[in-house]
Amino acid sequence: MKETPAIRIQNLMESQTLAMARKSRELKAEGKNVISLSLGEPDFATPEFIKEAAIQAIHDDFSHYTAVPGDASLLQAISKKFKRDNDLDYAPNQIVASTGAKQSIINVMLSVVNPGDEVLLPAPYWVSYKAMVQVAEGVPVEVLAGVDNDFKITPEQLRESLSEKTRVMLFSSPCNPTGSVYEREELEALAEVLRDYPEVIILSDEIYELINFGEKHYSFANIPGMYNRTVTINGVSKGFAMTGWRLGYIGAPKWIADACNKIQGQFTSAPSSISQKAAEAAVLADPSSVDFMKEAFLHRRDLVSELLSDVPGFVTNMPRGAFYFFPKVSDLFGKRAGDYTINDANDFCMYILNEVHVALVPGEAFGAPNYVRLSYATSEEELKEAIDRIKKAVEKLQ
């Protein structure tokens, strides 16, 4: 037998965040004291009221198949959440719950992108966006914004990147990997450009909605004229510390929701019935019930910002959401430590991992090769230790 995967798999890169996590585990297995700042996972436990809802669902034998897009009570709860928190009117038949927001995004991509369609990716972008476009046989078009512009593209950049082939624009705010947040006025300026391209669908990834340190979150679909062409993506993983429960969802124009329902019916059917009941409790809760997590992340952000300011060669912004920093490290390229030369961010991350056992993620995976991502979703003690190690390793470079 010819042991050759399909071409789509051969052309697909491994997720760099998962790759770094794997390498970290390998070093830990060798007995190394590795601090991983590579994964975007809250270090909090799922709140008790959510766990109790799941336990009750088990006792109630809520253990059978539900409708493909989710149980009716969950879809109604998400509809209420959209209205309460985002002032968006999504009926239950416009909502599809999936096995994580990652599946939500690929469902939409496979539903609306034809081979050769262009998909705009404001960069830095989340690591899986580009791969999803490629799986859908679309053409990724990266629009890079650097630290000097707080990692946010301008209307001029957007206009220059749009074409008759553009089908989708996909972005996140608050953003993974940068923590940047588009202000309402900035989103409205981008929407003004998009009005001239009525066939473009906007995928607004709002999974970090509840980890926003500035003004109240503003959804792109709220902008006049954008509701009928926007898919709002969200979930419970980040804001409610429910990464392992695997529950994401979309609010979308009905024709897109119907298409996602059709695809999901063939791929996975509905997400876990127990996770649905847990998610129902989460989205119906007052968002302030998880403010303690946001406050902890804000405190860590300020701590990490101060610590990183002492690391030579690091250039950072001040993130306004999520739990990441995305330092520019290109000033360190060309430097050496013994026989090891830092040629790029990949080299730098491997140097830091092998030299001082701290796991970062190279920016190339996010469409920004001069940067690295570090997550501060861990304890303050580990953050202090990790950044102290990084600083000492950088100071060895000549």
- The structural domains of the chain, ordered by start, are 7-45+290-395 (3.90.1150.10), 48-285 (3.40.640.10)
| 61 Rama sector, left if φ>0, alpha if ψ -120 to 50, beta otherwise | left
Closest CA to 118 of 126, 108, 130: 130
Beta bridge partners of 359: 36
* C-alpha separations of 21 from 40, 99, 367, 393 in Å: 11, 21, 19, 20
Q: What is the pLDDT of residue 27?
A: 84
Q: Check: CB of residue 367 under 8 Å from CB of residue 123.
A: yes
Q: Check: CB of residue 324 under 8 Å from CB of residue 147.
A: no
Q: Check: CB of residue 151 under 8 Å from CB of residue 184.
A: no
| Cβ partners under 8 Å of residue 334, min gap 6 | 341, 342, 343
Q: What is the pLDDT of residue 92?
A: 98
Query: Using one digit for the tens of pLDDT, what is the confidence trace for 145-190?
Result: 999 999 999 999 999 999 999 999 999 999 999 999 999 999 999 9
Tokens of 264: 């999901």
Closest CA to 220 of 171, 168, 253, 180: 171
Q: Check: CB of residue 251 under 8 Å from CB of residue 227.
A: no
Closest CA to 150 of 205, 100, 214: 214
| Cβ partners under 8 Å of residue 68, min gap 6 | 96, 261, 264, 265, 269, 270
Q: Check: CB of residue 233 under 8 Å from CB of residue 248.
A: yes
Tokens of 331: 């000033």
For the chain, helix (H) and strand (E) counts, in that order, are: 13, 14
Q: Burial code of 78-105, b = ≥16 C-beta within 10 A, e = fewer? A: bbebbeebbebebebebbbbbbbbbbbb
What is the pTM assigned to this prediction? 0.95
Q: What is the C-alpha separation between 181 and 174, in angstroms, rounded?
A: 5
Query: Using one digit for the tens of pLDDT, what is the confidence trace for 11-62?
Result: 877 777 777 778 888 888 888 899 999 888 999 999 999 999 999 999 999 9
Q: What is the pLDDT of residue 343?
A: 97
Q: What is the C-alpha separation between 81 and 126, in angstroms, rounded?
A: 25
Q: What is the pLDDT of residue 1?
A: 82
Length of the chain: 398
Q: What one-character DSSP code corresponds to residue 331?
A: G
3-state secondary structure of 156: helix
* C-alpha separations of 290 from 47, 205, 277, 283, 287 in Å: 8, 20, 18, 11, 6
Tokens of 79: 């509809």
Residues of the chain with pLDDT below 70 are none
Q: Check: CB of residue 339 under 8 Å from CB of residue 14.
A: no
Q: What is the pLDDT of residue 190?
A: 98
